[in-house]
Amino acid sequence: MPRRRYDQYCAAARALDTVGDRWTLLIVRELLAGPRRYTDLHADLPGVSTDVLASRLKDMERDGLTTRRKLPPPGAVSVYELTPRGLELLPVLTALADWGAPALADRRPTDALRAHWFAIPLARRLEDLGANVVEVRLDEGVFHVRTDNGRPLYGDGPADRPDATLTLDTGTCIAISEGRISVKDGVREGLVVLEIPPV
């Protein structure tokens, strides 16, 4: 909750009171990948300043979106993690990603990029593959998605034992994310290579 509230008895305004601040929803996006350390968050949120990130994490913990947990030694590092309430923001991020996907048509040279940022709009399109864990290989990097409502929803890098792997280029990935073509169409047209590893 920011210092500035809307003070409106409206469900949408109440939500924006909590998650309407700059960076908050993008922090949620990162935490959908599971528990993360402060430094990892800072690395995957290029542009955020250290104090704003720390301040947001405090606000989010106070508002019940996240919890802070100390990993047992050795390591004894603390990680940030979404609460169930914070996890319920996934539909908000999905709706935003749906709306914003067409804007990916113009790719600016200054744009930062992490492969797992494609996971949110892509996840639903992979649901009918019949695979719990899907590894996605783009030119820009590899990430994996869980389609079984598991936590974490996705992660960077290859999966442990994926049920399927998808190899495709960025344009195809966006087209599938937007629902313009299906995964099966992509395979049929040679844009996507779908592999099911032997058990």
Question: Which parts of this chain interact with DNA (CB under 7 A)?
Answer: 2-4, 21-23, 37-40, 47-52, 54-55, 57, 68, 77-79
CB of 14 to a second copy, least distance (A): 4
56 is an interface residue for a second copy by CB under 8 A = no
Q: Is 43 in the site for a second copy (CB under 8 A)?
A: no
169 forms part of the interface with a second copy (CB under 8 A): no
Q: Does 8 bind a second copy (CB under 8 A)?
A: yes
CB atoms within 10 A of CB 4: 9
Give the pair of three-digit tokens for residue 49: 């300043």
CA dihedral 82, 51, 18, 64 (to 10 degrees): 40
> Pick from DNA, a second copy, none: which does 110 bind, CB < 5 to 8 A by kind?
a second copy
Q: Which does 31 bind (CB under 5 to 8 A by kind): a second copy, DNA, none?
A: none
Member of 33, 36, 59, 114 binding a second copy (CB under 8 A): 114
- What letter represents residue 96's amino acid? L
Q: What is the DSSP string of 124-169?
A: GGGGGG--SEEEEEETTEEEEEE-SS-SSSEEES--SS-SEEEE--
